[in-house]
Structure 1
Amino acid sequence: MRKLPAALTVLAMAALGTVVPASAAHAALPCDDEYAAATRTYMYAYSSANCVGFLGKAAGNDSNWGDSGGSFQGGDTNKATSVLNRGSDVVQFFNGTGTDWTGGNICLKSSERFASSLADNDFSSGVSANDAISSHRWVLGGACDAWAT
């Protein structure tokens, strides 16, 4: 008689295991797939959180995301909500344009890989970085005043 309740318990637990989803610890991070697919040496920008809504990518500097030159053009300025760094250096993003590289900035280390949402990040000037990037350049970490997380 004891074997039947034990067998039913094992069957019930097995059935429950197929219904309960895997824990969050095993879930992928929001931008992991995009990072894995990204071309090495490039940075990427997206119009929505979690690396959704591809805006563009760049291996070099772009001093004005709103002009017709560089990797980012026209409507790309002030639209980035998430960014990804597949390069080997640091990407420094600015809320201004021009090759004097002044104004508020925020950086993303290659070791950080991505910032899935800039909504809780501010440029060094205190201005929100969300939907406010207008240019970027590649730098060494010592050039950075603020860091994306």
Structure 2
Amino acid sequence: MRKAFAVMTTVAVASLGVIVPATSAQAADCSDAMAGADSGYMFAYDSTNCSGYLGKASGDDSNWGDSALSFQGTDTNSASSILNNGNNYEVKFYNGTGGTGGHICLSRTEGWASSLLGDTFTTGVAANNAISGHAWSTASNCSKWAV
């Protein structure tokens, strides 16, 4: 009887080892993407938690929907999470092309916004799937920050 109880206890404890990692993996964010991110770049993703890579840029790109620079075509109005691994500046994301419309910034110290679902531009427009361009900026030129 003791042997059967010991075996059942061992099986129960072993099964917890399988359950716990699955639970902790569900608490996803952008930390894995940040760990592998090239220094000096900002990144955008079409899904939350920095998945569904759209692109990266080390310079400004004022029109994500054109056929030039880092972001092109359907990249415009597609970002749901963003990452800043820049060396010296914050990233200012715009609702319109050419630096127009409202903006929202992502600081180097914040690093990422795992989900833009609750964020809005300075104009009050929802930021999720609404970024049309970006520029590197100083913190003093940012009046709204991604959370």
Calculate the TM-score normalised by the size of structure 1. Answer: 0.83
Partner of 1:90: 90
Partner of 1:145: 143
Where in structure 2 are there 5+ consecutive unaligned residues?
none
In the TM superposition, residue 26 of structure 1 has moved relative to its aligned partner by 6.0
Q: Matches of residues 1-149 of structure 1 in structure 2 within 5 Å? A: 12=9, 15-20=11-16, 21-22=19-20, 29-88=28-87, 89-98=89-98, 101-149=99-147
| SS in structure 2 at match of 1:17 | helix
C-alpha spacing 1:25/1:40, structure 2 compared with 1 (3 Å)? farther
Code of the aligned partner of 2:124: G
In the TM superposition, residue 47 of structure 1 has moved relative to its aligned partner by 0.8
In the TM superposition, residue 31 of structure 1 has moved relative to its aligned partner by 1.5
Cα distance in 2 for partners of 1:17, 1:139 equals 52
Cα distance in 2 for partners of 1:16, 1:69 equals 57
Q: Per-residue CA shift, 1:47-96, capped at 9, x if unaligned?
A: 11111111110000001001111111111100101111111221110001
Cα distance in 2 for partners of 1:138, 1:126 equals 21
| SS in structure 1 at match of 2:74 | helix
C-alpha spacing 1:92/1:25, structure 2 compared with 1 (3 Å)? farther
Where in structure 1 are there 5+ consecutive unaligned residues?
none
Query: For the aligned residues, what is the CA RMSD?
Result: 2.4
In the TM superposition, residue 18 of structure 1 has moved relative to its aligned partner by 2.6
C-alpha spacing 1:122/1:43, structure 2 compared with 1 (3 Å)? same
Structure showing greater Rg:
1
| SS in structure 2 at match of 1:22 | helix
Q: How many pairs align? A: 143
Calculate the TM-score normalised by the size of structure 2. Answer: 0.84
In the TM superposition, residue 145 of structure 1 has moved relative to its aligned partner by 1.7
